[in-house]
């Protein structure tokens, strides 16, 4: 089995992350590398925001974002939110998504989170089956609105 290495992204990883988003069909409008680098700098100002990138044989294979937030309710207990999970189609089925979400769970465990959340578009039934296969459970409803 090939090792999957996951580390926190740096500005140098931005071009590879944008390529993963594009090839995996994540997001609708993509940044230029320059725009993404500026935006990454803004996101890094959040105390508990993390952008991770996964590699197989030194090739960028996947990425995800994790925000660990403190909550006023629950006596200040933390929760984690995973966003923008993407695996390059060339590496799908090789355990990259599983490894990234295991990594997210470990980060949340280390931060003493009481839960880890993610949301997925209703149309992505294959993704739903995958999330359930690795221990995520459907819970509640997700709502959105547009300003």
Pair 2, 57: CB distance under 8 Å: yes
The residue with greater pLDDT, 124 or 44, is 44
Fold adopted by 4-133: Aminopeptidase (3.40.630)
Across the chain, mean pLDDT equals 91
Residue entry with tokens 């959040």: 46
Going by pLDDT thresholds of 50, 70 and 90, the confidence category of residue 1 is low
Looking at residue 64, its pLDDT comes to: 97
Going by pLDDT thresholds of 50, 70 and 90, the confidence category of residue 122 is confident
Mean pLDDT of 135-147: 84
- Segment 74-103, tens digit of pLDDT: 888 899 999 999 999 999 999 999 999 999
Looking at residue 75, its pLDDT comes to: 82
For the question of whether the overall pTM of this predicted structure is more than 0.85, the answer is yes
Domain boundaries, the chain: 4-133
CA angle at residue 12 from 7 to 17, to 5 degrees? 65
């Amino acid at each position: 089995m090939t090792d999957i290495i996951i580390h926190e992204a740096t500005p140098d990883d931005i071009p590879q992350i944008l390529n993963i988003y594009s090839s995996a069909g994540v997001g609708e409008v993509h940044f230029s590398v320059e725009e993404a680098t500026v935006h990454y700098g803004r996101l890094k100002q959040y105390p508990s925001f993390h952008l991770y990138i996964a590699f197989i044989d030194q090739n960028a294979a996947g990425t995800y974002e994790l925000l660990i937030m403190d909550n006023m309710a629950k006596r200040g207990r933390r929760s984690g939110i995973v966003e923008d999970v993407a695996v390059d189609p060339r590496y799908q089925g090789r355990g990259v998504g599983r490894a990234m979400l295991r990594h997210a769970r470990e980060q949340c465990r280390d931060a003493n989170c009481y839960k880890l959340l993610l949301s997925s578009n209703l149309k992505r039934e294959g993704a739903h089956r995958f999330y359930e296969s690795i221990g995520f459970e459907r819970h509640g409803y997700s709502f959105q609105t547009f300003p």
